[in-house]
Amino acid sequence: MALGKQTLSAGKDVLLLTGLGALSQVLGFGYRVALSRMVGAEVMGLYQLLMPVYSVLLSLTAVGLTSAASNLTSQYLALGNRRAADQIRVACLRAFFLLLLPLGTAVVLASDPISVALLGDARTQLGLMLLVPCAALTGVENIHKHCFYGAGLVGPPAIVELLEQFIRAAAVLGLLFLFLPQYPERAAGLIVTGMVLCEVFSALTLTVLYRRRGGRMHLTGPGEPGSVRRRRIAAIALPVGANALLGNLIGAANSALLPQRLAQGGMERGAAIAQLGVVCGMTLPMLALPTLFLGPLNLLLLPRLARAFALGRTGEVRRLTGRAMSAVALLTLPAMSLMAVLGPDLGAILFGRKDVGRFLIPLALTMALSCFCSVLGAVLNGVGRQKAVAAVSILGGGVQLACTLVLVPLPGVGMGGYVAGALLSALLEAGLCLWLAARYTGLRPPLFSWLVAPGLASLLAALTANLLLRYLKDAGLPLLPAALGTLLFALVLYLAALHAQGVCLRDTLRVRW
């Protein structure tokens, strides 16, 4: 693949991925709302106990390999070595199955002690066993998906991902509609079964699409010796996988310990599981809804950074980093500020629970910091600093786990201790990632355009929106038109405040990067 301005210009691809990602995320959020209403907070809590195990299994097998597939595919194609790029895909798939076979067998055979001793709830056993085939299919899907992204082909995986959301929603909700009411264990198992069905579609479709593309593409270039190929894959996959593993282990420990520590503080076990379901299964997904642009941005940013870094274009690395950080700041800060205002009413309407908005402000700030961390982590991965990203992530996860252990059981603290730990962890990780990115790329962060200007504009918009929403509700206006009117006014005010500070949103988000 020739490297020119078009390959380093991500604007159109970001718009395509963001548009399809918006549809996908809205559908996924609607699916989660329907799921929460069908099964309730306790089953959602069991589902949240299972998902960290799923993440740990993938981090042990697939996460590092997908990063290697994307990074090395982009590098080899930039150098015109198509044969080596295809060899990377085959090698990553082979390594994935060699890792998954013994680990998956161990999970199935030890599902009973894992569910009881580690997760603290025997009702997760059925879901644990079903996670193994789900992880196998997800790994195949993700390796092919990241090979597409590394090659600069964003359309096929984005469309497949959108279709996957439809199939997941139809499969999971259809199974629940047919077989509910069930015991909580079986309800959680039905959810995972629906996930397996949708992953069958995604894995098969992306495999077929990649093979058809490979059949039409002439494999030019000398390729890469097996020993060199394995060494290059390991150099990326091991630190990325270790980072993901330790982070997911800490996340799994947090999820498993949180209900136990809440119970130690005097909360009934079922209520503690429900609290986990509300915060992690309802509030955080609602806050993640406005960040739909982040995934496409990172997926396209990393291979472009890898290409520029491979060719020694340090100025291009700094330019892409600055543009990505500016875009995240200008989009994330107002979104989280307005979610803090509108979120309590939105959560009550969607999930039928008023406690969805209980910790909304600190969690919104945590989500904003996490978005910055995500982009900075992609930058560091793109310039070959995977170990630094791993160290920062582990440190932040350790802070979160310590807060769960120490603060949650305290009388009157409870879930607030978990939220405080999440905020402190995100603040620490964001600060360290920014320092590392400046050190390794030579970037000088323009704090005014990254933080001060959008932060002040977001604060003004949020405070005004809060007053306006209260006034409209007190005046008797129905909630929906009051919220929409408040949102529109707040967005206009935000744009005006940015303009008054000399920041042009159009220039930062223009199509051509």
376-411 pLDDT, tens per residue? 888 887 777 777 887 888 888 889 889 888 888 888
Task: Decide if 69 is inside a domain.
Answer: yes
Greater confidence, 15 or 121? 121
User: What is the pLDDT confidence band of residue 70, given thresholds at 50, 70 and 90?
Assistant: confident
- Exposed / middle / buried, residue 231 (Cβ in 10 Å: 0-12, 13-18, 19+): exposed
The tokens of 128 are what? Answer: 């644990």
Is the model's pLDDT at 320 over the cut of 90?
A: no
Helices 155-179, 125-150: axis angle to 10 degrees equals: 160
Q: What is the pLDDT of residue 15?
A: 59
User: What is the pLDDT confidence band of residue 508, given thresholds at 50, 70 and 90?
Assistant: low
- Cα separation, 255 vs 497, in Å, equals 40
**Which domain range does residue 134 map to?**
11-445
* Residue 134, number of CB atoms within 10 A of its CB: 22
- Per residue in 290-305, pLDDT (tens digit) is 776 666 666 667 667 7
- pLDDT (mean) for 200-223: 77
- Cα separation, 79 vs 88, in Å, equals 14
Contact 55, 251 (CB under 8 A): yes
- Cα separation, 192 vs 127, in Å, equals 6
User: Among 93-102, 165-174, 316-325, 469-478, which is the least confidently predicted range?
Assistant: 316-325
User: Among 215-219, 349-353, 461-465, which is the least confidently predicted range?
Assistant: 215-219
Task: Decide if 375 is inside a domain.
Answer: yes
Q: What is the pLDDT of residue 7?
A: 39
- Per residue in 27-45, pLDDT (tens digit) is 877 888 888 888 887 888 8
Count how many domains the chain has: 1
- Cα separation, 438 vs 406, in Å, equals 34
Task: Decide if 455 is inside a domain.
Answer: no
Is the model's pLDDT at 328 over the cut of 80?
A: yes
Q: What is the pLDDT of residue 3?
A: 35
Contact 82, 217 (CB under 8 A): yes
Greater confidence, 489 or 161? 489
Mapping DSSP onto H, E and C, the string for 117-158 reads: HHCCCHHHHHHHHHHHHHHHHHHHHHHHHHHHHHCCCCHHHH
Averaged pLDDT score across all residues of the chain: 82
- Cα separation, 293 vs 465, in Å, equals 24
The tokens of 322 are what? Answer: 């600055």
DSSP E strands, 348-495: none
Is the model's pLDDT at 232 over the cut of 80?
A: yes
Task: Decide if 495 is inside a domain.
Answer: no
- Cα separation, 222 vs 153, in Å, equals 23
Closest C-alpha to 86, from 235, 205, 201, 215? 215
Task: Decide if 493 is inside a domain.
Answer: no
Q: What is the pLDDT of residue 231?
A: 86
SS3 content of the chain, % helix, strand, coil (to 5): 85, 0, 15
Task: Decide if 283 is inside a domain.
Answer: yes
Greater confidence, 358 or 66? 66
Is the model's pLDDT at 370 over the cut of 80?
A: yes
Closest C-alpha to 486, from 456, 455, 461, 459? 461
Task: Decide if 140 is inside a domain.
Answer: yes
- Going 121 to 42 to 47 to 265, the CA torsion angle's sign is negative
Q: Write 415-423 long-range contacts (CB < 8 A, 24+).
A: 415/258, 415/262, 415/275, 415/279, 415/358, 415/359, 416/359, 418/254, 418/258, 418/279, 419/279, 419/359, 419/362, 419/363, 419/366, 420/362, 422/362, 422/363, 422/366, 423/362, 423/363, 423/365, 423/366, 423/369
Task: Decide if 157 is inside a domain.
Answer: yes
pTM: 0.68
